[in-house]
Structure 1
Amino acid sequence: MSEVGNSPRWLAVSALSKIKNGAYSNLQLNQLINQHTMDRRDINLLTNIVYGVIQHRLTLEYWLKPFVRHPHQLDPWVNELLLTALYQWQYLDKIPQRAVFNETIEIAKVKGHPGIRRFVTGVLHEMDRQGLPKFDAITDPDERLSVTYSMPIWLIDELRDQLGADKMQRIIASLNQPAKQSLRVNTAVSDVEDVTAALTNEDLTVDFSEISPIGLIVSDGQAVTTDAMKYGMFTVQDESAQLVVPALNPQPGDRVLDACAAPGGKTTQIAAALDADAGGEVVALDIHSNKVKLIGENAARMHVADRVAATELDARKVGTEFGDGHFDRILVDAPCSGLGLIRRKPEIRYEKQLSDSLNLQRIQLAILTAVAPTLKKGGIMTYSTCTILKQENQDVIAQFLADQPEFELIKTPTEMNLKADRDSDTLSIYPDDYLSDGFFIACLRKK
């Protein structure tokens, strides 16, 4: 294969074609990075192009449309190639347009036949001559927002109905900003000062989180390749996700159920607060054996395996294995639409529909209802999701409380007193609040 066949731009086209066919962006990227020898700059460019095209797909397709008469006749990879050229030209200001166009034409030449090369060359030159269509040519305001921010219209409508027009626009604008590289310090073996020192010694730039006292933000360098990561001094976890376990507030001798645990990020955070000698244990469930194995591996890397019982079980069948009142605390980090994670998993926006949230609502309620009897009287059950729609959040809690009068909602605590003036007892973190993932946390006490 020619040198162009190993370039970040070529690999980006290959990744995007597979992602369009249903592959996961993060897994696809990891696979390519592992298979090819690239320096940090090339890895960054590849990652930037892949995530950038996915993020801005509706915008890029709007710009491309006037220049491609028969889009359905295009080979999928040619379409992705043109989108990568548009993305670099419009969004990456450090790369000259000439360089972008030249390499795009070179890829078309090597990957396709002479007709494809001529077609790609013609489209690029035509775009350059005519200029790209303007957003203000779109008369429908919702469609204009959808194209500008590359968000589906149904999500724009739903967020506006639930949160108002201003908040909706702030959220969708924030979701196209890059995700932070955030870490959670493993308090079972280390502390914030030691981890900061270890990472700084490896030439990483580290800042404290403004929402989690054990969170760190790395803005330069890759934390996952460090010795501190290998030794289990920290794990990669979004700042919002770090708030869930402190809200549950497990005590050293507690028996805790983590009902939907894989891959085990919150399980290991619970375990760090427990003491095996005092009888503290977290039972971590998942329905897939490979994911149960992953929980066990994470617990071992984070030095808390003595307090973690990773178990293959559907959370809706907890009653078959554990009696009433068995657990002091229960975490239901429920399966959800993941719409709070769009910054990290940009393809989610195109894959989900409102019907998904309504279907998930039934599963979320079923899990809460199934695990509720296994919580002892006076015990705390924390419900969390990484979505921002009330159908999976406030509506689920309201329905659960209506069905289960022995439970009461208590105010979700945070160690840094976040949103102290909020009206609700539940806590909603939106993606624009702290530029972290969107999250919902509710705490329920059994009377």
Structure 2
Amino acid sequence: MKYQTNNPRELAVRTLMRTSNGSYSNLQINSVIESTSMSDVDKGLFTTIVYGVIQHRLTLEYQLAPFIKEPEKTENWVKELLYSAMYQLQYLDRVPKRAIFDESIKIAKSMGHDGTRRFVTGILHQMDRKGLSNPSDIKDPLERLSIQTSVPQWLVKLVSDQLGEKKAATIFRSLNRAPKQSVRVNKHKISKSDLLGQLSKAGFDPHPSEVASEGLVLEKGQVLHSSFFDDGLVAIQDESAMLPVESMPIKADDLILDACSAPGGKTTQIAANLKEGRVVALDIHQNKLRNVNHNAQRLGLSERVETHALDARQVDEQFDDEFFDHILVDAPCTGFGLMRRKPEIRYDKTMADVNHLAEIQGQILAAVAYKVKPGGTITYSTCTIVRQENQGVIAKFIDAHPEFEVQPTKTDMDLKTDENGMLNIYPDDFDSDGFFVCSMVRKS
């Protein structure tokens, strides 16, 4: 899509309109940056506004409500424009108020007409005179935390009931901190120590992850646009996302099934641990497998990766006589552990989605159960933080398959597991993504 402007604030409003209609924020942001000629400073402002408004949407809706008498008659893009101005006023210290007001009023006229300009001008001046309401004044504790952290009430209640109100509050308050830039060392091509040295010389200011042994956190730069990425020395992956594979007892000649592989981060992580072995990667969508193959090729691991477009629940149809040393089920889930990186997730899902996905997760586990050799393991992981998709799925699976037993999930950093040996990483623990990992062995 071509844009008629390079104004970062107007582009932010247009992008927010698309994300509010269901588009993924990260894809829309990348598309806009690639299609315009904004300066690096403007790209930063544009990205910050888009993510910031999505992260704080419930807070901003609550604060805007007293100023709009007939919200149903106000166009959505005008609301997005006002949200973007409110976000800048409250959360961006270095942007002068006059610049925010002047730019917002200009956008109101350019995207609308003179009446829109007057409407937006009037509301901005009202906000300036009266001030914005403080969510801390909300009396109901559930509603207060929901509006303060911009997380829907049903999800606040669910996590509070499962983990306690204090833990839920620290999780949700952590979500609006900027995500870290983390990468996984491609040990097939380079050692961790050599990569650290080269990244340091290039000015990325790297340091080893406290979560995953193959992880590095970069404090500066954009590694995606560097030779380190192009040459396949690194894979861009969150620290927590490296743990499921790290916990697997992989040997160099193993045959391993990655039942839900796209986009291929864990597939290539498995492949980097193999020599004579191979990893069979499944995904229900053929187009997503292209990403898996592309990532494997970039990292120099194609010979160890075999892809098949197949629903993991039908694994027996294609692999009726093949058995695997280990199986990874990184199951499709609600993704509530990713809310820092994908803030719109919190608004898109419902309790019905939780229950539906838990059924699918159980079906996948049941389908692959007899494709692992006796003595082999199934590693089950999700990037969500709710029990229905994690401990609940495991409990039902073990009850129906007594030939499997849970064994303690082991990580290189010796991360603490729960009383049943399962690993729960929450977004506030290390400022990484939320993840769940459970290791199960098929008894001989």
TM-score range, shorter chain: over 0.9
- 8 Å Cα contact 2:136-2:148 kept in structure 1: no
TM superposition shift of 1:71: 1.3
Shift in CA distance, 135/4, structure 1 to aligned 2, threshold 3 Å? farther
Structure-2 residue corresponding to 1:84: 84
TM superposition shift of 1:297: 0.8
- 8 Å Cα contact 1:258-1:331 kept in structure 2: yes
Matches within 5 A, 1:211-226: 211-226=211-226
More divergent stretch after superposition (228-237 vs 130-139): 130-139
Which whole-Å deviations, capped at 9, do the CAs of 1:200-229 have from their partners, x for residues lacking one? 333222122111121111121101001010
Counterparts of 2:358 and 2:107, CA distance in 1: 46
Matches within 5 A, 1:61-80: 61-80=61-80
Structure-2 residue corresponding to 1:262: 262
**Candidates 315, 320, 330, aligned match of 2:327:** 330
Counterpart check, 1:292 vs 2:295: no
Counterparts of 1:250 and 1:42, CA distance in 2: 46
**Candidates 307, 325, 341, aligned match of 1:344:** 341
- 8 Å Cα contact 2:327-2:377 kept in structure 1: yes
TM superposition shift of 1:332: 0.2
Amino acid at match of 1:74: T
Structure-1 residue corresponding to 2:415: 418
Counterparts of 1:266 and 1:416, CA distance in 2: 18
Residue 379 of structure 1: SS of its match in structure 2? strand
Residue 412 of structure 1: SS of its match in structure 2? coil
Residue 325 of structure 2: SS of its match in structure 1? strand
Counterparts of 1:403 and 1:7, CA distance in 2: 58
Residue 5 of structure 1: SS of its match in structure 2? coil
Counterpart check, 1:353 vs 2:353: no
RMSD: 1.3
- 8 Å Cα contact 1:324-1:375 kept in structure 2: no
Counterparts of 1:145 and 1:320, CA distance in 2: 48
Residue 416 of structure 2: SS of its match in structure 1? coil
Which whole-Å deviations, capped at 9, do the CAs of 1:347-385 have from their partners, x for residues lacking one? 000111111111011100100000111100000110000
Amino acid at match of 2:209: S
Structure-1 residue corresponding to 2:140: 140
Counterparts of 1:207 and 1:235, CA distance in 2: 16
Which whole-Å deviations, capped at 9, do the CAs of 1:397-420 have from their partners, x for residues lacking one? 000000001101100000011116
Amino acid at match of 2:94: K
What residue ranges of structure 1 are gaps of 5+ in the alignment? none
What residue ranges of structure 2 are gaps of 5+ in the alignment? none
Counterparts of 1:69 and 1:201, CA distance in 2: 57
Aligned length: 441
- 8 Å Cα contact 1:185-1:235 kept in structure 2: yes
- 8 Å Cα contact 1:198-1:228 kept in structure 2: no
- 8 Å Cα contact 2:105-2:117 kept in structure 1: yes
Amino acid at match of 2:436: F
Counterparts of 1:179 and 1:397, CA distance in 2: 29
Counterparts of 1:71 and 1:195, CA distance in 2: 54
Q: TM-score, normalization: structure 1? A: 0.97
More divergent stretch after superposition (297-306 vs 189-198): 189-198
Structure-2 residue corresponding to 1:436: 432
TM superposition shift of 1:325: 6.1
**Candidates 415, 423, 429, aligned match of 1:427:** 423
Matches within 5 A, 1:27-176: 27-176=27-176
Q: TM-score, normalization: structure 2? A: 0.97
Which whole-Å deviations, capped at 9, do the CAs of 1:17-75 have from their partners, x for residues lacking one? 01011111011001000000122221111111000000000101111111111111111
Amino acid at match of 1:425: G
Amino acid at match of 2:435: F
